Structure 1
């Protein structure tokens, strides 16, 4: 299974920057950037990001069954 973050696409659709999301989610901007680059992010930050965007956590990912 391949899981790919789609945060960049969501932010673009909403006209929002990583910095704006970080402020709204109350997480460091670096955490948003790491998550968007598919590197390790803390579950707490991922949940905060999803809640700030009012979407489900799984909506932050593109999931392909291989």
Structure 2
């Protein structure tokens, strides 16, 4: 089984009414990194945890997790 994690930070921010600037100030993550979060496939660990803590969400809420069965 393979897990796919698709970033969904901007949807979470929209639901909470947060801007990129507000999140950058609250999390310490540069605004440019927040801007590119949903486009990137790799994320700095501290960015993910800092963003989740600032938004008061669980880390997995920042991603849409899907599974694929491995082809044999």
TM-score normalised to the size of structure 2?
A: 0.80
Structure 2, unaligned stretches of length 5 or more? Answer: none
Distance 1:32 1:21 in 2: 8
How many residues align structurally?
66
1:2 to 1, 4, 24: 4
Which structure shows the higher strand fraction?
A: 2
Could you give the per-residue CA deviations for residues 13-46 of structure 1, whole angstroms, max 9, x where no partner exists? 1111112111110110012122222343210111
Structure whose CA Rg is larger? 2
* Residue of structure 2 in register with 1:15 after alignment: 17
Which structure would you say has the larger RCO, counting Cα contacts within 8 Å and 6 or more residues apart?
2
What is the aligned-residue RMSD (CA, Å)? 1.3
